[in-house]
Structure 1
């Protein structure tokens, strides 16, 4: 079993009926939504709002993802979605993310996510903004 991420941003999420299939198991694509929320809230917790970036013609897109499902989340579970940046370059950042069942700390899903910085108008790669680079320099170990 993979180690749980420590020293990460944690977003609590409850599993609702809308997240599950007919058997009460979280539909696989919803883990992507949970991880997207965690990445967005991690940025917001550091004062970086995505809406402000849109005004400056900056957007972030998932460029690549490796995803591993370990165990199912179920209706009414309380989850912790963990996110931590692990590397970055001029135009991209890579994060490690995990979805963990809160009550027993069971790892349910984990991913390596590469996010690229692009311009809103053309979709071309562009340099990460200074505030993002500064945050990543502080966070990546």
Structure 2
């Protein structure tokens, strides 16, 4: 995996599996949520402060593909890669990969919308989040440009 893609380690516990020790499909959503949340934290954004400012983030849209099963005790990596933003949303490409064999277990395109906590209605991304997303986009573009010319 490339260095530009945020990675968050996950271990599969019994609570994540069905009776046969296979990861329950909805758990992949949890893993992806953790990776997105930790990406935001790694950028210096405090989500708890947003709550006091009437800001929340919700998954607006997700297209997910389950490619292979995960199993009890597997060590996984959940990734989050920013793909764009609009006035009220951020887009991510995400994967859950088994570490030992690099098998992609699930991958998704996710759109996260910014909403007013009290009403649930869309609101513009706060300036701090726009700055983080724009900086991350510039970093991704400069890495891609360096790869294509190098």
1:64 counterpart = 2:86:
no
- Using a 3 Å threshold, how does the CA distance of structure 1 residues 114 and 5 change in structure 2: closer, same or farther? farther
Provide the TM-score with structure 1 as the length reference. 0.94
Aligned to 2:9: 12
- Give the distance between the partners of 2:32 and 2:46, measured in 1 at CA: 17
- Unpaired runs of at least 5, structure 2: 142-150
Out of 37, 46, 50, the position equivalent to 1:40 is: 37
CA drift of 1:90 comes to: 0.6
- Alignment: residue pair count: 138
2:95 matches 1:81: no
Give the aligned CA root-mean-square deviation in angstroms. Answer: 1.1
Q: Which residue of 1 aligns with 2:50?
A: 53
Q: Which runs of 5 or more residues in structure 1 are unaligned?
A: none
Runs of 4+ in 1 over 4 A off after TM superposition: none
Q: Is the 8 A contact 1:94 1:115 kept in 2?
A: yes
Q: In structure 1, what is the equivalent of residue 94 of structure 2?
A: 97
What displacement does 1:104 show? 1.2
Write the distance in 1 (CA, Å) between the matches of 2:119 and 2:16.
34
**TM-score, length-scaled by structure 2:** 0.89
1:136 aligns with 2:133: yes
Shift of 1:137: 0.7
More helix by share: 2
Q: Which residue of 2 aligns with 1:111?
A: 108
Distance 2:62 2:33 in 1: 12
Q: Tell me how far apart the structure 1 counterparts of residues 58 and 48 of structure 2 sit (CA, whole Å).
A: 14
Give the drift of 1:5. 6.2
Distance 2:109 2:2 in 1: 12
Partner of 1:28: 25
* Contact in 2 for aligned 1:5/1:82 (Cα 8 Å): no
Max Rg structure: 2
